Structure 1
Amino acid sequence: MREEFLYYVWQYKLFSNPNLQTVQNELIEIKKTGVLNKNEGPDFLNAQLYIDGQLWVGNIEMHVKASDWYLHNHETDPNYDAVILHVVWENDAIIYTKNNDPLITLVLKDYIDESILNNYNSLLFANKNWISCENQIDSVDAFLIKNWQERLYFERLEQKSKSIEILLKESKLDYEAVLFQLLAKNFGLKINGDAFLNLAKAIDFSIIRKVAHDQTKLTALLFGMAGFLEAEIESEYYLNLKREFNYLKHKFKLVSKPKNSFQFFRMRPTNFPTIRIAQLAALFAKHQNLFSKIIHLNKKDDYYKLFSVNIDDFWKEHYTFETTSKKSPKKLTKSFIDLLLINTIVPLKFVYLKNRGEFTEDTFLSLIQEVSSEKNGIISKFLDLGISSKNAMESQALLQLKNNYCTAKKCLDCAIGNNLLRN
């Protein structure tokens, strides 16, 4: 038994008998269950109860065992002085208030419907499945799942917005600078994401603005700051970048990063950090006010056109500075741009519109629902269970569901878990 289950039953009044009675044989009528407290202190705040006809206003504390009150040292904590009811699963001790009166106590297991308890036990404790409800999830109404996915998606956006707000604060609300940092991180993908973000943060965006009109200068700046221009390579292109960077380094008093922070091992050549840096430079050289452009676009195809950029000719025949390769344009693919939409552009637009008070769900969802669903192990496993993902909004929602609810066994906080518990 977990305390979370007691919260759940109390909050939704899932009692088998509405005539609640304390261990002191006092009748309880719930006027307000109170507000679930997710911070320190009693579990429910500002509850209103009629106890033997007398209205009580205060807080409620819940424990699996009554003796947990002393185990958690609540008797010495003034935050618990206003507790008007102690709700327990097992009443194994008498708890006294500071006035030496027994604390009014309700034993909840005497009032829980057996079917809900059985559903709870079977869902959370009786299996070792990939997700707790995998044998029952196909019985849940599709409309309920769809609505829950929308809520999960916005919950995921809210989580992502926290790191974006930090970057905005650091940049003094410079959305162009934050876009550069976020795009850089996503150009690095999972393996090089942190290295790319550190690269972007190491360059004051005012310098990017000053050199972005010249693709060679911007390319030299990025490669130089990433530590790729410190070798002795006899290539006209390489030596030109090196000269440009040395000039910029002296002019702006720059300190470059070590090259070994970028990984090539077990990566596809198209994802080599050298190629991604060249593409990033080409993008910001072509669009010097990129954020002001993306904020007004609402169609996926418009983003495909915006992100269609040409890298330097050198990189069309190279994956690294040292070796040549078969010629290819090495443009940003639609699938890669989809990842940028999912992980950078849409979350940043969400923060921007919300901060301006211009956010509307329906308009906002239209873009992310145009983007194809992600493909990974979690999405494939849900598909095996009959839960398909038709677009990026749904795939992001399923990732949120698995990582934040299923893995943590937070079935009581999940709309699907709630549905199964009550049936």
Structure 2
Amino acid sequence: MKEDFLHYVWRYKLIASAEIETTKNEEIEILNPGVYNTNSGPDFLNTQLKINKQLWVGNVEIHLNSSDWYLHKHEEDVNYDAVILHVVWQHDVEVFMKDNSPIPTLELKGLIDNNLLKSYQNLFSKQQRWIPCENQISEVDKFVVNNWLERLYFERLERKSSVIEELLNKSNSDYEAVLFQLLAKNFGLKTNAEAFLSLATSLDFSVVRKESFNAESLEALLFGQAGFLEEVAEENYQNELKKEYEYLKHKHKLSPIANRQFQFFRMRPNNFPTIRIAQLVSLFNKHQNLFSKLIEVTKMEDFYSLLSVEVNEFWKTHYTFETTSKKSPKKLTKSFIDLLLINTIIPLKFQYLNSRGEVDEEDFLQLIQQLKPEKNTIISKFSDLKISAKNAFESQALLELKNNYCAPKQCLQCAIGKTILKK
């Protein structure tokens, strides 16, 4: 038994008996359970109830045992002076206010429907499951699931917005700079994400902006900062970049990061950090005001057109500085652009419009629903449970569900969990 289950019972008035009494046999009538308080202080605020037909307005505190009042030292906290009812699972000790009068107490043990208790115990059993409701989720009404997934998707966007806001605060609200940092992290994919973010944050974006008009300067800048131009090389092109970087390093007072942060092991050649840096260079050389352009774009084909870039001539025949390869354009693929849209462009665009009060949720839903779902272990597991993602909107929502509700067992805050309990 956990307190949050008792919060759930009180909040939705799921007490089985219509006639309830305090431990002193005083009749209780719940007029309004109050506002659920997620901050410090009593669990429910502004509760309205009648005790022996006397109207009371105040707060309610909920514990597993009455003695928890003293365990949590509420008797020393003035925030609990306005508690009008102590709701507990088990009444094991009398609790007194400062004037030595006993706090009216409601014991829930024996007042909760057995079916509700069984459903709760089943969800929160210690049996190892991938998600608590894996045996019931496929039976939940699709309307409930779909509505909840929509809410989860926007929760995910809002959570990402808070991360974006931190970056904006550090960059003096420069959206172009934040876009560069987030895109760089995405270009690194999971393996090199942090290394690429270190690269992007190792220099002020104003330097990138100044050098972006010249492709060779920008390439020297990023490869130099990434630490790939530290050693004397046999390749003439690499030496040319090295000379350019030495000039830029002195000009902008830069310090490179260690290139050992970048991983090549067990990676497909098209995902080598050298290729991803070359593509990042092409993108920001082609579009000096990329964020401004992305804000104006609304159609999927226009996103693909805007972000479709290929590497320069050297990288068309190389995967690293040292070895040559068969010539190929090494363009940003449609599937890779989809990842950029899902993880960076749509969240950043949402944050920008939301800060201006211009968000149209339907527009974002229509956009994300055009993208294919991500392929990963979590999405595959949900598919095994007959909850399949048809598009990126649903796969993003399912990731939010698994990571922020199922994993921490927040079933009582989940629409799916609540539906299962009510059954």
TM-score over 0.5 (shorter chain) = yes
- How far residue 122 of structure 1 moved from its aligned partner, in angstroms, is 1.3
- What is aligned with 1:199? 199
After superposition, what is the alpha-carbon deviation per residue over 1:376-421, rounded to whole angstroms, capped at 9, x for unaligned? Answer: 1111111111111011010011011111111111111111111111
**In structure 1, how many angstroms separate the alpha carbons of the residues matched to 2:198 and 2:40?**
36
- My pick for the range that moved more, 50-59 or 233-242, is 50-59
After superposition, what is the alpha-carbon deviation per residue over 1:248-280, rounded to whole angstroms, capped at 9, x for unaligned? Answer: 111111111111121222222211111111100
Write the letter of the residue equivalent to 2:99. Answer: N
- How far residue 31 of structure 1 moved from its aligned partner, in angstroms, is 2.3
Asked if the contact 2:310/2:332 (under 8 Å) is kept, the reply is no
**In structure 2, how many angstroms separate the alpha carbons of the residues matched to 1:56 and 1:194?**
56
Q: SS of the residue aligned with 1:295?
A: helix
After superposition, what is the alpha-carbon deviation per residue over 1:12-42, rounded to whole angstroms, capped at 9, x for unaligned? Answer: 1112122221111112222221221222221
- How far residue 115 of structure 1 moved from its aligned partner, in angstroms, is 1.2
**In structure 2, how many angstroms separate the alpha carbons of the residues matched to 1:395 and 1:108?**
40
- How far residue 58 of structure 1 moved from its aligned partner, in angstroms, is 1.6
**In structure 2, how many angstroms separate the alpha carbons of the residues matched to 1:79 and 1:380?**
47
**In structure 1, how many angstroms separate the alpha carbons of the residues matched to 2:196 and 2:35?**
43
- How far residue 119 of structure 1 moved from its aligned partner, in angstroms, is 0.9
After superposition, what is the alpha-carbon deviation per residue over 1:142-162, rounded to whole angstroms, capped at 9, x for unaligned? Answer: 111111100010111111111
After superposition, what is the alpha-carbon deviation per residue over 1:363-382, rounded to whole angstroms, capped at 9, x for unaligned? Answer: 12111110100011111111
**So what's the TM-score if we normalise by structure 1?**
0.98
Q: Where do residues 128-167 of structure 1 align in structure 2 (5 Å cutoff)?
A: 128-167=128-167
Q: SS of the residue aligned with 1:103?
A: coil
Q: SS of the residue aligned with 2:16?
A: coil
Write the letter of the residue equivalent to 1:327. Answer: K
- What is aligned with 1:365? 365
Write the letter of the residue equivalent to 2:371. Answer: V
- My pick for the range that moved more, 276-285 or 131-140, is 131-140
Write the letter of the residue equivalent to 2:358. Answer: E
- What is aligned with 1:83? 83
- What is aligned with 1:120? 120
Task: Count residues in correspondence.
Answer: 423
**In structure 1, how many angstroms separate the alpha carbons of the residues matched to 2:342 and 2:215?**
27
Gaps of 5+ in 2: none
- How far residue 238 of structure 1 moved from its aligned partner, in angstroms, is 0.5
Write the letter of the residue equivalent to 2:338. Answer: D
- What is aligned with 1:34? 34
**In structure 1, how many angstroms separate the alpha carbons of the residues matched to 2:226 and 2:296?**
32
Q: SS of the residue aligned with 1:375?
A: coil
Write the letter of the residue equivalent to 1:351. Answer: Q
**In structure 2, how many angstroms separate the alpha carbons of the residues matched to 1:122 and 1:263?**
44
- What is aligned with 1:301? 301
**In structure 1, how many angstroms separate the alpha carbons of the residues matched to 2:216 and 2:50?**
76
Q: Does 1:249 align with 2:245?
A: no
Write the letter of the residue equivalent to 1:335. Answer: S
After superposition, what is the alpha-carbon deviation per residue over 1:145-188, rounded to whole angstroms, capped at 9, x for unaligned? Answer: 11110001011111111110001111111111110011001111
Q: Where do residues 14-413 of structure 1 align in structure 2 (5 Å cutoff)?
A: 14-125=14-125, 127-413=127-413
**In structure 2, how many angstroms separate the alpha carbons of the residues matched to 1:257 and 1:132?**
44
TM-align CA RMSD: 1.2
Identity of aligned residues (%): 63
Write the letter of the residue equivalent to 1:105. Answer: T
- How far residue 126 of structure 1 moved from its aligned partner, in angstroms, is 6.2
**In structure 1, how many angstroms separate the alpha carbons of the residues matched to 2:65 and 2:299?**
56
Q: SS of the residue aligned with 1:370?
A: coil
Write the letter of the residue equivalent to 2:162. Answer: K
- How far residue 79 of structure 1 moved from its aligned partner, in angstroms, is 1.9
Write the letter of the residue equivalent to 2:289. Answer: N
Write the letter of the residue equivalent to 2:78. Answer: P
**In structure 1, how many angstroms separate the alpha carbons of the residues matched to 2:35 and 2:273?**
50
Q: SS of the residue aligned with 2:38?
A: coil
- How far residue 110 of structure 1 moved from its aligned partner, in angstroms, is 3.0
- What is aligned with 1:5? 5
- My pick for the range that moved more, 277-286 or 91-100, is 91-100
- How far residue 111 of structure 1 moved from its aligned partner, in angstroms, is 2.1
After superposition, what is the alpha-carbon deviation per residue over 1:300-323, rounded to whole angstroms, capped at 9, x for unaligned? Answer: 222111111121111111111111
**So what's the TM-score if we normalise by structure 2?**
0.98
Q: SS of the residue aligned with 1:386?
A: coil
Write the letter of the residue equivalent to 2:330. Answer: K
Write the letter of the residue equivalent to 2:354. Answer: K
Q: SS of the residue aligned with 1:50?
A: strand
Q: SS of the residue aligned with 2:371?
A: coil
Q: SS of the residue aligned with 2:89?
A: strand
Q: SS of the residue aligned with 1:111?
A: coil
Asked if the contact 2:211/2:218 (under 8 Å) is kept, the reply is yes
